[in-house]
Chains A and B, each alone.
Chain A
């Protein structure tokens, strides 16, 4: 009996949609099932407060693979990325630092802190750009499997080895340091000013339960030099209409190619018979069959909840149970009556047309981490802020603003236990607003509405287990051929006909779309459906 669908994709997040679009484009009959009413998973936009659109969770885009944008013709389906123009860091003493795409202006700004660092900054950018060129193929290819003797695997390993050799001694060493050192130690080899090192280092901790001085955090710095928007590298961007607009563009592309998408269709179980996936059971009890099932959900949720331990080899269950999630961040979205000026640099200038880091010193960031280590949210957290309404006036009524605040640390595992987060939600929101008010004195009186998302909320609402925004820590032992489990990093799973396509698969989290694309590529290459 022929099945109605070639593939059922669990979860309508951006990766699930990318995977669906590629499969549909290749002529496969695809069904995407999304639990929520809104598509996009954690990459969604919602009008939570009338007239104001929030990018509820994910709020910037940089690594969305250019090839995906081209292949799926996303601009045709409504994708419009507005580049973030600067990175701004205010300090409590009234000074501030803005780095922008203008090298001369950036030089002047940094020179006010340290002329030496101003000289080094472009050199650093150049070195990182070279490393980014080495690393990019890694996120554009599936992870090699060092356990396999297959020619394709060996060739890929050899190719990586050759590319590494071609970097030469100095860059090769730099790459090694970047992969193993802490963000602060790595940057301190280049720069002397803590005010510069601190905001630069914090890109290494976003989404992880680590501090800027924890080994292994330097690697993510590179992501800042890998972004590509409209062909220009090193830019972060914001999608017109919010991050959800990206998901919607991908969804429209998928539908255009023939994929079927259902919302309010939560999957409660992946049906397995004789070690092979048959289809899914929906929350309403109905069943759907397909040749293959592809899960865009996070691995622990996929295997331990939707599949069930009983269907899986013990060794694999152990690996998945060990898989570290440990969400560490929250999100506060504000609807504002008027723009809240930064005391150190008032007005709506270039400095608020990018992202803003509250990361005044490396010690400050470590103290924020210390709170989290012992099971509390940071009383004075690290924050990364964007004003979407400044870039895209449609996000709020005229003259009014939305403010997107990414907050760390908000550890999922608070000492009272994660289910106690709802009681702490407002106190957490207050800590954020109180800290921010030190930089924006008029903030409090301009707030019309406040949405506070704790890691508990991210789990309950978006299926992000333990509130981890990347579907699993981007730590060394959970990358490449070990994501999500050693030997199972190529989208296949121990269950035949069950595949992974979410951020819990290589190359990991962020609005990249790469896991979805690479999964679809392997599924098609292997003729799985």
Chain B
């Protein structure tokens, strides 16, 4: 066992480091920012964290039931729809597929390329058989649908639909009327379960503690500028201060594009290899806001979708699609004790008119205006906002996309981010990918870093 470098000190980076340390590697995590945490700062939803990951890492965490999503608009917070018979019936339907989806998320995706051993297909095939052929066919029918059509079939009112759909759209480049958005909603909902007590901060703290206990070295303010490659083998990294580090294994948890197109020089890659990631679609549609609160909003509801109905979500997506200034963004809000993490849906990474300070300021005021009516005067305090462009620059998120890449039928499972890379390995020996841009997708699972480390 030798030395391993992990690029990125986010949840996946720490998880990969812990896993490799347990395998006997001497691991150093390199984080560009002044503190570890990475995307943990940008996300608040721990309901999709897969319990097996916590067990595998040996984290000591408590779980508790996740509060239901509530809808809100200018008319106030809508009553919880969780008990609605139509929603209950739909949840039951999701539960039928949850076993398969969760088991797919607990392992590397089946290798579908023809040099693959057919054995890798056995596990999922058995799960699929458990479903039965009729259910399997139903899955094939539902997957391509748009979320709205699917929930319409269950006769769920459209303004309730938007609260069920919006959280899943954050990982996509879709609106409720985009075909295959049903699959995104199915995956997100099937992956959701209990949440971590203490939320993302507690999870991060546990990861840091565990990493420390496992002997992982963490270096902050260490920006990797290049992955050094010799004879098609990763031999280490170069940092922004010009220093070089040697390692036998480099595991990158920044985006696949950032890793293979920016950190690895084109000369080191085999012919055609750069093209494999070039076309991965990573169009960010979400800005992230952190809001200080002096008093609770939304009557204290913890998880709130601010969208009147599906039309509001669709129009928000239209703004992102047309790369224009957001006119009517929708919000996905996680409210905590003294602050809230707000995901602003419908914000393009590549605005035709570009992002400017004025543009970001305008968006801040839009978010403020959407939040203020839901609390006492003065409840909304300081509000910091990161546009998708900021997310890309500061957090290394490919395309400013919160999940390093869009969830799509051609970019999930064995296709994420590309069939040649789906096994966490790259064309360069000793270089692995273990960030959010890898399988599994559909929500924040904490699985990628672990699954990638297992390939080492």
**A residues with CB within 8 A of B:** 146-147, 165, 168-169, 172-173, 176-177, 180-181, 185, 188-189, 210, 213-216, 322, 324, 363, 366-367, 370, 373-374, 475-477, 481-482, 486-487
Q: Contacts A146-B137, A180-B409, A477-B145 hold; do A210 and B179 have CB atoms under 8 A apart?
A: yes
Interface residues of B in 162-194 (CB under 8 A from A): 174, 177-180
A197 to chain B, nearest CB (A): 14
Determine the residue in chain B with the shortest Cβ distance to A208: B179
- Docked Cα-Cα span, A216 to B149, in Å, equals 15
B51 interface residue, CB < 8 Å from A?
Answer: no
Residue picked from B144, B145, B177, B408, most chain A C-beta under 10 Å: B144
Residues of A within 8 A of B177 (CB): 373
Residues of B within 8 A of A476 (CB): 143-144, 179
**B residues with CB within 8 A of A:** 113-114, 133-134, 137-138, 140-145, 149, 153, 174, 177-180, 279, 281, 311, 314, 318, 321-322, 408-410, 415, 419
Residues of B within 8 A of A173 (CB): 419
Residues of B within 8 A of A180 (CB): 180, 408-410
Checking A169, A475, A486, A487 against B179 with a beta-carbon cut-off of 8 angstroms, the contacting residue is A475
A176 touches B410 (CB 8 A): yes
Q: Contacts A475-B144, A475-B179 hold; do A374 and B149 have CB atoms under 8 A apart?
A: no
Checking B134, B153, B415 against A147 with a beta-carbon cut-off of 8 angstroms, the contacting residue is B134
Known: A214-B179, A482-B140. 12 other contacts (CB 8 A): A146-B137, A147-B134, A176-B415, A177-B410, A181-B408, A210-B179, A215-B174, A215-B409, A475-B144, A475-B179, A477-B142, A482-B141
- Docked Cα-Cα span, A363 to B352, in Å, equals 12
B415 touches A477 (CB 8 A): no
- Docked Cα-Cα span, A216 to B182, in Å, equals 13
Residues of B within 8 A of A210 (CB): 179
Determine the residue in chain A with the shortest Cβ distance to B408: A215
B416 to chain A, nearest CB (A): 13
Would you give 20 A-B contacts (Cβ < 8 Å), ordered by A? Answer: A147-B133, A147-B134, A169-B419, A173-B419, A177-B410, A185-B281, A215-B178, A215-B179, A216-B180, A363-B322, A366-B322, A370-B318, A476-B143, A477-B141, A477-B142, A477-B144, A477-B145, A481-B137, A482-B137, A486-B137
Residues of A within 8 A of B149 (CB): 324
Determine the residue in chain B with the shortest Cβ distance to A186: B410
B313 to chain A, nearest CB (A): 12
- Docked Cα-Cα span, A367 to B324, in Å, equals 13
Q: Contacts A476-B144, A477-B141, A486-B141 hold; do A215 and B419 have CB atoms under 8 A apart?
A: no
Residues of A within 8 A of B141 (CB): 477, 482, 486
Determine the residue in chain B with the shortest Cβ distance to A210: B179
Residues of B within 8 A of A168 (CB): 114
B439 to chain A, nearest CB (A): 16
Determine the residue in chain A with the shortest Cβ distance to B412: A180
A132 to chain B, nearest CB (A): 19
- Docked Cα-Cα span, A286 to B145, in Å, equals 43
Residues of A within 8 A of B321 (CB): 213, 366
Residues of A within 8 A of B318 (CB): 370
A216 touches B179 (CB 8 A): yes
Closest 4 CB pairs of A and B: A476-B144, A180-B409, A477-B144, A180-B410
Q: Contacts A173-B419, A181-B410, A482-B140 hold; do A214 and B178 have CB atoms under 8 A apart?
A: yes
A358 to chain B, nearest CB (A): 19
B314 to chain A, nearest CB (A): 6
Residues of B within 8 A of A147 (CB): 133-134, 137
Residues of B within 8 A of A486 (CB): 137-138, 141
Residues of B within 8 A of A477 (CB): 140-145
B423 to chain A, nearest CB (A): 14
Residues of B within 8 A of A177 (CB): 410
Checking B113, B279, B281 against A169 with a beta-carbon cut-off of 8 angstroms, the contacting residue is B113
Residues of A within 8 A of B408 (CB): 180-181, 215
B450 to chain A, nearest CB (A): 27
B419 to chain A, nearest CB (A): 6
Q: Contacts A215-B409, A477-B145 hold; do A165 and B179 have CB atoms under 8 A apart?
A: no
Residues of A within 8 A of B409 (CB): 180, 215
Determine the residue in chain B with the shortest Cβ distance to A321: B153
A164 to chain B, nearest CB (A): 10
Residues of A within 8 A of B134 (CB): 147
Determine the residue in chain A with the shortest Cβ distance to B181: A215
- Docked Cα-Cα span, A384 to B390, in Å, equals 42
B114 touches A169 (CB 8 A): yes
A418 to chain B, nearest CB (A): 18
Residues of A within 8 A of B174 (CB): 215
Residues of B within 8 A of A165 (CB): 114
B153 touches A322 (CB 8 A): yes
- Docked Cα-Cα span, A477 to B279, in Å, equals 26
- Docked Cα-Cα span, A38 to B145, in Å, equals 37
Residues of A within 8 A of B137 (CB): 146-147, 481-482, 486-487
Residues of B within 8 A of A215 (CB): 144, 174, 178-180, 408-409
B317 to chain A, nearest CB (A): 10
Determine the residue in chain B with the shortest Cβ distance to A218: B410
B182 to chain A, nearest CB (A): 9
- Docked Cα-Cα span, A322 to B155, in Å, equals 12
Residues of A within 8 A of B314 (CB): 373
Residues of A within 8 A of B140 (CB): 477, 482
Residues of A within 8 A of B113 (CB): 169
- Docked Cα-Cα span, A180 to B409, in Å, equals 6
Residues of A within 8 A of B142 (CB): 477
B380 to chain A, nearest CB (A): 31
Residues of A within 8 A of B419 (CB): 169, 173
Residues of B within 8 A of A216 (CB): 144, 179-180
Residues of A within 8 A of B133 (CB): 146-147
- Docked Cα-Cα span, A486 to B135, in Å, equals 11
- Docked Cα-Cα span, A79 to B279, in Å, equals 45
A297 to chain B, nearest CB (A): 23
Residues of B within 8 A of A146 (CB): 133, 137
- Docked Cα-Cα span, A337 to B366, in Å, equals 55
- Docked Cα-Cα span, A169 to B419, in Å, equals 9
A479 to chain B, nearest CB (A): 9
- Docked Cα-Cα span, A287 to B325, in Å, equals 63
A198 to chain B, nearest CB (A): 15
Determine the residue in chain A with the shortest Cβ distance to B177: A373
